[in-house]
Amino acid sequence: MQSPPDGFEPVVTHMTETVGAAPLVVVAYGIIWAAVLLYLWILHRRQARLRTEIDDLSRRLAEKPRA
Amino acid sequence: MSQKTFSIGTLLAALGMLAAPMLIFLSAPVEREMGFVQKIFYFHVPCAWLMFLFTFVCAAGSLAFLVKSSRRGDQVAAAAGELVVLFGLLVLLTGPLWARKAWGRWWVWDVRLTSSLMLWMIFVAYLLARQYGGPAARRLAAGLAVFGAAEVPLIYVSVNIWRTIHPKTEVVRTLDPGMRPAFWTSFAAITMLGLLLFALRLALERARSDVEDLYLATED
CB-CB neighbours of B133 under 10 Å: 14
Answer whether B89 sits within 8 Å of A57, measured CB to CB: no
pLDDT at position B147, please?
94
A-B Cβ pairs (cutoff 8 Å, strict): 101
Query: What is the model's pLDDT at position A13?
Result: 59
With left for phi above 0 and alpha for psi between -120 and 50, is residue A46 left, alpha or beta? alpha
CA B93 from chain centre, in angstroms, equals 13
- Could B204 and A46 be called an inter-chain contact, meaning their C-beta atoms sit closer than 8 Å? yes
Judge if pTM exceeds 0.90.
no
Q: Is the pLDDT of residue B159 over 70?
A: yes
Taking the Cβ of residue B207 and every Cβ of chain A, the question of whether any pair is shorter than 8 Å is answered with yes
Q: Does B220 touch chain A (CB under 8 A)?
A: no
pLDDT confidence band for A14 (50 / 70 / 90)? low
* Residue among B69, B86, B121, B59 nearest B198 (CA): B86
Q: pLDDT digits over B30-87, tens only? A: 988 888 899 999 999 999 999 999 999 999 999 999 999 999 999 999 999 999 999 9
CB contact (8 A) between residue A6 and residue B171: yes
Mean pLDDT of chain B: 91
A2 CA: distance to closest CA in chain B (Å):
12
- Residues of B with CB below 8 A from A38's CB? none
Is A27 at the interface with chain B, CB within 8 A? yes
- Comparison of pLDDT for B80 and B167, the residue scoring more: B80
pLDDT (mean) for B138-153: 94
Q: Work out the minimum CA distance from B218 to partner chain A, whole angstroms.
A: 7
Residue A3 banded pLDDT, cuts 50, 70, 90: low
Are B25 and B36 in contact, with CB atoms under 8 Å apart?
Answer: no
Compute chain B's Rg from CA coordinates: 19
Q: Is the pLDDT of residue B167 over 90?
A: no
Region B196-216: what's the mean pLDDT?
Answer: 90
B180 touches A at CB < 8 Å: no
Which H or E element spans position B114? helix B111-132
Q: For chain A, percent helix, then strand, then coil, each to nearest 5?
A: 65, 0, 35
